[in-house]
Each structure stands twice: as structure tokens, then as C-alpha cells.
Amino acid sequence: MRPIRVGDIVVHPVNDGTAVLLPENWANSDWTEHQHLLDADGRIQMPIGTFLARIGDRLVLLDAGVGVVSSEMFEGGLLLGNLAALGVQPGDIDTIVISHLHSDHMGWVERDGAPVFTNATVHIGAADWAHFVDNLGDGRRRASRLQAIESQVQLIDGDGVTILPGLTTRATPGHTPGHTSTVISSGDERLIVLGDAIHCPAQLTEVDWEFIYDVDPTLARRTRAALLQEAEMPGTALLPCHFPGLQAARLLPGAGTRRWVLSGE
């Protein structure tokens, strides 16, 4: 998978596996114009993305995959091997930001009750911690896995929190209550790493579609619309966690029409 450049910073897509979704997972959807996104069985296969970046003297991982899982929806477990191929061991990573606490974004933070990234601070949206851990939003097992790494966790409270120079958070609620994107900036370029604020390329143009796993679909739609509009700013790209090839989306400046391109450069 091709690295993405943001000014002086190189962002490496690191895949953990594959998620399989169905067209009906999006409400109000009509896939006539998006057949190329479907496989031979009419399903949508997506990578389970995480992103690695060295920013200053820090080594940052954005999202943490699904882990060693084999289910109808997820096939995972590639993250540590793919990090090793980039010369990175789990103990090298000092900063992790988790976009939200669904299983395919926090899967590797813990294994068998012990932290995997032993030297990392794990930044998580406070509202997601309240929803998934305090209020058991996805059940007791998810909550107890997260409690196992509680000493590493730093909760993100509010919007626009600077994690380190060049890396700030952006509250993008809706998919989950504390869903958090991260903005990587260098020079006059910005990359907004979206987590699951947008899932599939069709949603770049199909603004009425709603994803059935959004905790608050109306809020998610509003958040998505704001992000799609923000992409109009020069030097701005959007990087969701499940786009084909883990590519970034950029809006081509043009007269009247909104044309999106996906690319690593």
C-alpha cells in the first residue's frame, strides 16, 4: 500500500485484514452507480486500516485494527507482521490515537488481558470511553478488554486537542458518541484521518446514505457533510480507515462539479 505524503510527514497505511459488508448496511442506498465497489457476490470487501507516522521524534499509530479474529464480518491479524515489515516493533510506538471503540479499531491494544503496545499512551475520546466502558455500550467483554489497558489511556476531552505538534484531534461524533478524527499537518498540507466518519467511497457523493452501525445516524450525517465540505480547502485530504487500498480522497478543484480522486500521493 502506497505511503501518503503530508508536507514533510510520510503516513504509512498498515492493513490488519478485511471487513465484509453488505449493500443493505447503508440505509437509503442505491448501488447502481457503484457496482465497481461490489465483489462477485455483491458484497463490499474493505481493508481494516491503521496508519503509522513518524512525527518529530514520536512514532504514532492511528487506530489499532481488529486483532486475531476470524468471523463472518472480520478477518484480521496482519497488523504486527505489517508493522515489522516497516521495521517497527510494538514497543517502538509511543503514541496511539483510537478513532472509536468499535472492535475493528481497537483490536490490538490488548491481547489476553495484557497491553500489546507497552510503551504507548493510548488516546481515546472521553465520550466513547463513557459509552463503551462505563455504560457497557457493546457489552462486558469490550469493556473489560479496555479496562485492561486503562493505565495507558488518556481521554480526549473536547475538540481540537493537540496530541503533539502536527497532530491534533477533531471531534467527529455520530458513528459513535466520542468518535475522533486526527488532523496531521505539515507545511501547507493537512490530512484528516477519519476513522469511520466515512466508510466507503460511494459516501463521498451519496450524502443521503446512512450507515446502519452509526450510533446516531443523523449526527453522523451532519459530521460527514461538514468533512466533505472541509475537503474543499486547499491542501486538504481525507483518509478513512476502510477505503480501497487505504487511499486518501482529495477533491479536485473544478468548475461547478465535485470530482474526487483517490490516491496515495
Residues 104-123 that bind Zn ion (CB under 5 A): 104
Q: Least distance from C-beta 229 to Zn ion, angstroms?
A: 23
- Choice between 128 and 196, CB closer to Zn ion: 196
Does 214 participate in binding Zn ion (rule CB under 5 A)? Answer: no
- Alpha-carbon radius of gyration of the chain: 17
- Choice between 104 and 128, CB closer to Zn ion: 104
**Eight-state DSSP code of residue 37:** G
Q: What nine digits make up the cell of 203?
A: 459516501
- Choice between 19 and 52, CB closer to Zn ion: 19
Cα–Cα distance measured from residue 109 to residue 149, given in angstroms and rounded to the nearest whole number: 7
Determine whether 253 is exposed, middle or buried from the number of CB atoms within 10 Å of its CB (0-12, 13-18, 19+).
exposed
Helix (H) or strand (E) holding 51: strand 44-55
Q: Least distance from C-beta 12 to Zn ion, angstroms?
A: 19
Which long-range contacts does 222-225 make (Cβ < 8 Å, 24+ apart)? 222/174, 223/172, 223/173, 223/174, 223/175, 223/179, 223/197, 224/174, 224/197, 224/198
- Contacts with Zn ion, 142-181, as mask; x by CB under 5 A: ----------------------------------------
Q: What nine digits make up the cell of 123?
A: 488516546
Helix (H) or strand (E) holding 195: strand 189-195
Q: Least distance from C-beta 68 to Zn ion, angstroms?
A: 17
- Choice between 104 and 214, CB closer to Zn ion: 104
- Choice between 29 and 176, CB closer to Zn ion: 176
Strand partners, 229: none
- Choice between 104 and 110, CB closer to Zn ion: 104
From 60-68, 167-175, 192-200, 208-216, span contacting Zn ion (CB under 5 A): 192-200
Q: Least distance from C-beta 234 to Zn ion, angstroms?
A: 29
Does 196 participate in binding Zn ion (rule CB under 5 A)? Answer: yes
Q: What nine digits make up the cell of 51?
A: 496508519
Q: What nine digits make up the cell of 49?
A: 486500516
Does 128 participate in binding Zn ion (rule CB under 5 A)? Answer: no
Q: Least distance from C-beta 103 to Zn ion, angstroms?
A: 8
Helix (H) or strand (E) holding 219: helix 217-230
Task: List interacting residues with Zn ion (CB under 5 A).
Answer: 104, 196
